[in-house]
Chains A and B, each alone.
Chain A
Amino acid sequence: MSEERGTVAAPDTSRSELPKPQWNRHLLVLAGLAVVLIPLPLLLPGAQQSVAVRVLIFALMAIGWNVMSGFGGMFSFGHAAYFGLGAYVSAYLLVNHGVSPWIGMVAGAIVAALFAVLVGFLALRYRLKGAYFALSTFAFAEMLRLVAINSDLVNRAVGYTVPLRDEPSWWYMQFEPGAPQYFHLALGLTVAALAISILFLRSRVGRFSVAVRDDEDAAAALGIPVMRTKLTTIALSAAITSVAGTFYVQYYFFVDPDVAFGSSVSIQAILPAVIGGVATIWGPVIGALVLGPLNDVTATLLRDPPEALDFLQGRAGLDVMIYAVLLILIVLLLPQGVYGAIRDRLQSSRARRRR
């Protein structure tokens, strides 16, 4: 929001009136949504179900990104690093040692959080800000990609294929192709991540994180340990996004360096949050709902275009172009994101009614 400076009139306080944060209401809505969505696989045909799972993976990645870059204000362009670590650590443990992906998920989250703290510490220690900070996160993600490509330990560019089991198993996160369990698993993880992000925002360290984002000097002067707060935020963010990586491998049975650490992965963590609303609780989910189905819509359109759009037949890359156009439109028209715009509109209309 751009504030007008130097106006003589008293500021319109009713417009800037903030509703009290309703943490419990957010949690209740979340619980309600989770319950409502449980029967969804019964209603959706198989192909739509995979779209729903993709939406949840997007959401999970973006919820993680939003903790660091939205609430914490540290723009990350390298969340592929954490997604990839979640994918690789769990895949390595599963394929080479037969360790359950659940344990791999925890291990991946820990490794991702530690790596994030290291990267964050270096970037913050040398006082990188804004674009330079973002570029440093990008550089570390690229570094991991190159390490993976050149390391025999993780099969170089080949990566891992998850071995198929005879029996479906919750313990090994493997079910029949297209089984509703995948959806339920992704739903459970996403709901948990969202609940954690709400609880974080409400917590002491979460409040500190927002304070540091808003004004670092003031936060420090009031006794908030700036570095520790930032690193805690970064660690949580990385851990959440890494969970998406672990699930991704189990769902698609496959990971390689590009799929895990490629820069497009970082973008996929950013886009839903930006479209839905950065630094809002629900933004990443709403953005994922917009982005997830886009892939399929464009793919269908390209395979079998209506007559008027004949020239599209057989062309690739339309989804990327639509992403770009969508992003430009959002940034221009709804700088607060879809959720932010709706929320602001509701608030101002409520304020108008009160008058």
Chain B
Amino acid sequence: MTLLEVAGMSRSFRGLTAVDDVSFSVDEGSILGIIGPNGAGKTTLFNLIAGAIRPDSGTATLAGRDITGLAPHRVSAAGMARTFQLMKPFGSMSVLDNVAVSAMAAGTTRRNATTSAADIVERVGLSRWRDARSKGLPTAGLKRLELARALASRPRILLLDEVLAGLVPAERTPVLELLEKLRAEDGVTLVFVEHIMAAVMRLSDEVLVLDQGRVLTLGSPQAVTSDPRVIEAYLGEEPSGARS
């Protein structure tokens, strides 16, 4: 069953087309990876789907419901959560409170929110920083906090914007395992933007390649990475580089 359907999504900024007629769909319980060179429009696409900015044209449909142009908090209420590439913690709050606020926003009572937040904090491996002021966290911690907060809103679909960037390889594995577990145990549908190809290959059921705002190709990870157009788009640069 299709959970998220994006059709003909376009948006330009002062004549520069950032996202150009992008269409794709994501089945419930599947994982879609989105790759593309810097400036390909990946983050803009997320912003369009999640309601942070309005599309010029095109629609987004979540579980049969049109969510195009809805305010972000309504998109969230419809069952979508997202993380930000540039982390946005609630800096004055502790890690636990960050997550608890998200649970409350999803309708959990204040008391239960703290309990479920504690679970999630442990699950993403943030227990060590549970009571620390979130502003002081290192990148790896902030990335996980983004994930934890998104999870606390109990989404049906999760948009992840480079959750692995800035993590050293040893830190990536637990996050990858967590994402796999989320799909397997909670049935969460994932759409994730990532530069680290090993992660894309490992997680994705399908991979969408964006280049200059357009869909270059969409297919299985193997098919996509052997596509000459994709290699071309990365300008001959092997798309396995450890960019961050």
> Do A and B come from the same complex?
yes
Q: Tell me whether B183 is interfacial, beta carbon within 8 Å.
A: no
Residues on the B chain within 8 Å of A218, using CB: 84, 88-90, 149
What is the distance, in angstroms, from A172's C-beta to the closest C-beta of chain B? 40
Measured CA separation A226–B50 after assembly (Å): 15
Q: A204-B110, A220-B72 are in contact. Are A210 and B93 (CB under 8 A)?
A: yes
Residues on the B chain within 8 Å of A202, using CB: 110
Q: CB distance B90 to A210 under 8 Å?
A: yes
Measured CA separation A21–B84 after assembly (Å): 27
Looking at the complex, which of A12-20, A83-91, A300-308 is the stretch in contact with chain B?
A: A12-20
Q: CB distance B102 to A222 under 8 Å?
A: yes
Q: CB distance B73 to A214 under 8 Å?
A: no
Residues on the B chain within 8 Å of A224, using CB: 73, 101, 105
Q: Tell me whether B176 is interfacial, beta carbon within 8 Å.
A: no
Residues on the A chain within 8 Å of B93, using CB: 18, 210-211, 214
Q: CB distance A208 to B104 under 8 Å?
A: yes
Q: CB distance A214 to B90 under 8 Å?
A: yes
Q: A210-B92, A218-B88, A222-B76 are in contact. Are A17 and B105 (CB under 8 A)?
A: no
A314-354 vs B: 1/0 string, CB under 8 Å? 00000000000000000000000000000000000000000
**Which B residue sits closest to A15, measured CB to CB?**
B136
Tell me the count of chain A residues lying within 8 A, CB to CB, of chain B: 31
What is the distance, in angstroms, from B138's C-beta to the closest C-beta of chain A? 6
Residues on the A chain within 8 Å of B72, using CB: 217, 220-221
What is the distance, in angstroms, from B241's C-beta to the closest C-beta of chain A? 23
> B163-213: which have CB < 8 Å to A?
none
Residues on the A chain within 8 Å of B102, using CB: 222-223
What is the distance, in angstroms, from B183's C-beta to the closest C-beta of chain A? 21
Q: CB distance B149 to A17 under 8 Å?
A: no
Looking at the complex, which of B6-14, B125-133, B223-231 is the stretch in contact with chain A?
A: B125-133
Measured CA separation A224–B73 after assembly (Å): 6
Chain A interface, >50% SS class:
helix
Residues on the A chain within 8 Å of B59, using CB: none
Q: CB distance A18 to B149 under 8 Å?
A: no
Measured CA separation A333–B71 after assembly (Å): 42
Selected contact of A17 from candidates B77, B88, B92, B132, CB within 8 Å: B132
Q: Tell me whether A45 is interfacial, beta carbon within 8 Å.
A: no
Measured CA separation A91–B93 after assembly (Å): 42
> A19-55: which have CB < 8 Å to B?
20
Measured CA separation A218–B81 after assembly (Å): 10
Q: CB distance A217 to B73 under 8 Å?
A: no
Residues on the A chain within 8 Å of B77, using CB: 223
**Interface size bucket, B side?**
35 or more
Q: A222-B81, A223-B77 are in contact. Are A17 and B110 (CB under 8 A)?
A: no
Q: Tell me whether B20 is interfacial, beta carbon within 8 Å.
A: no
Q: A3-B135, A220-B71, A221-B72 are in contact. Are A215 and B104 (CB under 8 A)?
A: no
Q: CB distance A17 to B133 under 8 Å?
A: yes
Q: CB distance A11 to B138 under 8 Å?
A: yes
Q: CB distance A215 to B131 under 8 Å?
A: no
A185-228 vs B: 1/0 string, CB under 8 Å? 00000000000000000111001101101110111111111100
Measured CA separation A218–B73 after assembly (Å): 10
Residues on the B chain within 8 Å of A219, using CB: 90, 101, 105
What is the distance, in angstroms, from A306's C-beta to the closest C-beta of chain B? 45
Q: Indicate the member of A16, A218, A224, A225 with the most B CB atoms within 10 Å.
A: A218
Q: Tell me whether A10 is interfacial, beta carbon within 8 Å.
A: yes
Q: A215-B90, A221-B50 are in contact. Are A16 and B133 (CB under 8 A)?
A: yes
Measured CA separation A311–B92 after assembly (Å): 48
Q: Indicate the member of B97, B106, B136 with the most A CB atoms within 10 Å.
A: B136
B68-102 vs A: 1/0 string, CB under 8 Å? 00011100110001101000111111100100111
What is the distance, in angstroms, from A159's C-beta to the closest C-beta of chain B? 41
Q: Tell me whether B153 is interfacial, beta carbon within 8 Å.
A: yes
Residues on the A chain within 8 Å of B88, using CB: 215, 217-218
> B102-147: which have CB < 8 Å to A?
102, 104-106, 110, 129, 131-133, 135-138
Q: CB distance A225 to B136 under 8 Å?
A: no
Selected contact of B153 from candidates A13, A210, A223, CB within 8 Å: A223
Measured CA separation A116–B136 after assembly (Å): 35
Residues on the B chain within 8 Å of A208, using CB: 101, 104-105
Q: CB distance A214 to B89 under 8 Å?
A: yes
What is the distance, in angstroms, from B87's C-beta to the closest C-beta of chain A? 9
Interface residues, chain A, with chain B CB atoms under 8 Å away: 3, 10-13, 15-18, 20, 202-204, 207-208, 210-211, 213-215, 217-226, 279
8 A-B residue pairings within 8 Å (CB atoms) = A16-B136, A211-B101, A219-B90, A220-B71, A222-B102, A222-B105, A223-B105, A225-B71
Excluding A222-B102, A223-B102, 7 further A-B contacts by CB distance (< 8 Å) are: A3-B136, A11-B137, A13-B129, A13-B136, A210-B93, A222-B105, A223-B153
The 9 closest A-B pairs by CB, nearest first: A223-B76, A16-B136, A218-B88, A214-B90, A220-B72, A16-B133, A223-B105, A215-B88, A18-B94
